[in-house]
A and B are shown apart, each in its own frame.
Chain A
């Protein structure tokens, strides 16, 4: 079965410090990968998605970047964190293709980031 891991689970960082959040997927090959951010009490905002190694698409201009160095690894980074980067970061995966589009996005446990 497929599983998705994220770490760290929680993180408190000062403004201006760098960031690296990691997401790995097991039990599947060539997944589509996604990074979402969720502000407190709000819905999910798609930040980045990737359809393959080295292929990154950004959805919103921001202080963050993403990379996919391996098929099942997705990394979210920042060189200098801002207060507004605080939030709950969720990684998700889905199979690249499935008949009828019935494939579902499956989410990792998330990382709660607080920037002080």
Chain B
């Protein structure tokens, strides 16, 4: 079984500052992928970044980077230079590569508010 834990229901950050959103996971799969999605108030789920469990380097996508610590089973999302448009709910998810049909498990999310 897989489990994703996001311990921060809400976070605040000042515009232009960096923020870290926490995510810890648990799985018995030896190979897996970790994902972060952004959900603005409109409801759409926007894919942000992917980290494979065997990737040697932490993933980066523009202002998004993933601080992957495999031994600690954590995959924190770092957003640099926050913008007002970053205000949204953020979900961490994972999928075991041996999981049937590629089913993903999602955390409960963190609501990020960027202050001007």
Residues of chain A at the chain B interface (Cβ within 8 Å): 32, 34, 41-44, 46, 49, 51, 57, 59, 88, 90, 92, 94, 96, 100-107, 109-110, 112
Contact = CB atoms under 8 A, between A and B. Distances in A.
Given A102-B52, A104-B47, A107-B45, A43 B101 contact: no
A105 B104 contact: yes
Interface residues of B, number: 27
B103 A49 contact: yes
Interface string B91-112: 1010101001111101111010
B44 A102 contact: no
Interface of B: 4, 31-33, 35, 37, 42-45, 47, 50, 52, 91, 93, 95, 97, 100-104, 106-109, 111
A42 B33 contact: no
